[in-house]
Amino acid sequence: MSTSNGAAPAGRNGTGPPTRGLRAEGVGIDIDGRAIVHDVSLVAEPGQVLGLIGPNGAGKTTLVRALAAVTAPARGVVTIADRPVRRMQARERARQIAYVPQDTALDFDFTARDVVLMGRHPHVGRFEPLRVIDHDVTDAMLAETGASHLAGQLVTTLSGGERQLVHLAKALAHQPDVLLLDEPVAALDLRHQLHVLQLLRRQAARGMAVVAVLHDLDQAARFCDRLALMHAGRLVAAGSPREVLTEESLAEVYGVHAVVADDVTTGALRITALDVLPGLAATEKRK
Ligand SMILES: Nc1ncnc2c1ncn2[C@@H]1O[C@H](COP(=O)(O)OP(=O)(O)OP(=O)(O)O)[C@@H](O)[C@H]1O
């Protein structure tokens, strides 16, 4: 959570300099001449998990790719500490931002540990060998994600969920200020979903700014400090889960009649979709 006075919390090891969040201002993204994302402004605060939610085709992946500087927005800017991420050197950017895409398929014969070790390269000087600390962090992140048992396995032989864990471990090995995850639990079983979501909370508690695209709104309500709701390429609501996940917004954006109630077990909101509302969801209408 952010500190009550609004100041950034101390670094993730508790002693380092304050970590930094990520800011998007007026971001618009075009693909093949078509505007996909319109005028999105948001802040991912250090110490918080920001959930990016919205129906299929809302523009979440397109936005996250621009936040990660994988693509350049046509309009607006993405910054960390007022510095545009697109203008940073790739190595410097990789020390600050780690991004795990939806599709983590790899077609080269590296072991899972080799892949996680690659996450250390932004911290190692050019032509310098990997250090003991790089190996230690690699092993720690494999353990943190529950993927130690996969270390020696070729990534081409991993299941989709196993690959997702290995890529999360690689992203953590960057030790970034900002962690961007596109559907990080989509391929995971119940236990691993919980493990990863709790892990994200721990990373945030250590000062990281975490942004995760999530489809499960119960998980979004329970594990995110703030939510950003996208619809047809626009950010239509942002705030606490209680502010964003209302029966009205779920009807408008997802086209469902849903009941939003407190879950007596978790204390978080629980969303029960009862019926599909008549007519097309607005995302489909747009096409
Ligand atoms: N390379 C591309 N070429 C053309 N259209 C694209 C491309 N990438 C995305 N789009 C379109 O942009 C829109 C937003 O896609 P995006 O993948 O960002 O949505 P999303 O919110 O992540 O969806 P989902 O929840 O289904 O993953 C969609 O209508 C999609 O068809």
pLDDT 10s digits, 12-68: 433 344 458 999 999 999 999 999 999 999 999 999 999 999 999 999 999 999 999
pLDDT at res. 284: 53
Spell out the domain ranges in the chain.
Answer: 22-276
Distance CA 140, CA 271 (A): 36
Q: How far apart are CA 201 and CA 215, in angstroms?
A: 17
Rounded CA gap, 53 and 230, in Å? 6
Copy the structure tokens of residue 86. Answer: 């697109």
The CA distance from 248 to 233, in Å, is: 19
The per-residue pLDDT for 156 is 94
Most ligand 1 atoms within 8 A of CB, residue of 52, 61, 234 to mutate: 61
Q: Which residue, by CA, sits nearest to atom 31 of ligand 1?
A: 57
pLDDT at 5 over 50: no
Q: What is the largest CA-CA distance in the chain?
A: 61
pLDDT band at 280 (very low <50, low <70, confident <90, very high): low
- Residue 134, pLDDT above cutoff 80: yes
Tokens 């690659």 locate to 118
Domain 22-276 belongs to what topology?
Rossmann fold (3.40.50)
Cβ–Cβ under 8 Å, residues 191 and 34? no
pLDDT above 90 (res 8)? no
Of ligand 1's atoms, which has the minimum distance to the CA of residue 62? 18
Query: Which pLDDT tens digit goes with each residue over 68-84?
Result: 999 999 999 999 999 99
DSSP state of 254: I
Of ligand 1's listed atoms, the one at least distance from the Cα of 230 is: 21
Return d(Cα 136, Cα 47) in angstroms, integer.
24
Q: What is the mean pLDDT of residues 126-153?
A: 95
Mean pLDDT computed over every residue of the chain: 91
